[in-house]
Amino acid sequence: MRWFHVSVCNVVVVVAMLILGALPFSSHAQLDPSFYKNTCANVHSIVRGVVRNVSKSDPRMLGSLMRLHFHDCFVQGCDGSILLNSTSSIVSEQGAAPNNNSIRGLDVVNQIKTAVENACPGVVSCADILALAAEISSVLAGGPNWKVPLGRRDSLTANLTLANQKLPAPTFNLTQLISTFANQTLNITDLVALSGAHTIGRAQCRFFSSRLYNFSSSGNPDPSLNTTYLQTLRSICPNGGPGNTLTNLDLTTPDTFDNKYFSNLQSLNGLLQSDQELFSTSGASTVSIVNSFSSNQTLFFEAFKASMIKMGNIGVLTGSQGEIRTQCNFVNGNSSGLATFATRVEGEEGVTITSV
């Protein structure tokens, strides 16, 4: 693998892209970090208290909450639809292939919602709770903080079909990844920055085992995978073994939010195919961004902040749209006919972003 060198020009281009990417969309001008200043001024500290307490016994939860926000935003926008259980009128997104036995943190979101409702009943949306929990998770893991634009409202529907269609898969190649993000108005810098959330969290063997034994139906391992790392992963995930066995997304500092994810890619130690594609695709424009983020953690953090804010603006409901759910798992006045999604055994990260 050829090593690429970071130039001043590359860094300038990346920074320019970040500035453009951070500009707010005028259609979402209603979102404001001070939205709850007069109605629930302590909402950030309430959310932080619950997330911090949970993460003490389950540090994986930080990555899981970031991933939950991502999986929400890519389906109908950031509207809390992923939280809805199945009822007589709703088919939950939680049963979609990228989410089933994989997403975690639903119970934690419910804990947060209960705490927030006790302090500020009927005020804070579940969609905003997801956005706040993602930012707080970043900070608690050692990553960047940002002022979360707030004022989202919750959807009245979920969309299982879109959840199966819109979320990027761990087996996606770079072309598929770029297209999937472009469909959400996210550019290549956003793709690389948000992928960096895989600096924390875990993935199940079922999401990458084909890379180890039968890449692209070749009967051989993925040639872009470091051979030493390949043997390590095969010992964790034997051929035909349990698909739900977990391994770290970042083999260097798995519970610390830093830029080591990118140096792992440079060493061909990306766990998911969709991770390694960012660096190993010949001539890809993502390579220079990976190199820039690997050499400059501050640059990565600034990019991540901008991309998270940008992602958090996707398809938001504001004003009189949607509602403020009393319970995050159900639309108001309809908590009957529930399925078993609320008590499912939750797995761990495995789809493209997030650990984030």
Q: Distance between CA atoms of 257 and 78, rounded to whole angstroms?
A: 23
Query: What's the length of the chain?
Result: 356
Given a contact cutoff of 8 angstroms between Cβ atoms, the answer to whether 268 and 230 are in contact is no
> Residue 44 catalytic?
no
Given a contact cutoff of 8 angstroms between Cβ atoms, the answer to whether 133 and 69 are in contact is yes
Helix 273-280, helix 286-295: angle, nearest 10: 100
Q: Distance between CA atoms of 44 and 119, rounded to whole angstroms?
A: 12
Q: Distance between CA atoms of 148 and 114, rounded to whole angstroms?
A: 21
Helix and strand element counts for the chain (H, E): 14, 2
Helical H runs in the chain?
Answer: 8-22, 43-57, 60-73, 106-119, 126-140, 160-166, 174-182, 188-195, 209-213, 227-236, 260-266, 273-280, 286-295, 297-312
Given a contact cutoff of 8 angstroms between Cβ atoms, the answer to whether 71 and 197 are in contact is no
Q: Distance between CA atoms of 149 and 35, rounded to whole angstroms?
A: 8
Q: Distance between CA atoms of 44 and 30, rounded to whole angstroms?
A: 19
Q: Distance between CA atoms of 119 and 113, rounded to whole angstroms?
A: 10
Choose the catalytic residue: 28, 69, 71, 198.
71
Coil vs helix vs strand at 150: strand
How is residue 315 written in tokens? 């398809």
Instruction: Enumerate the active-site residues.
Output: 71
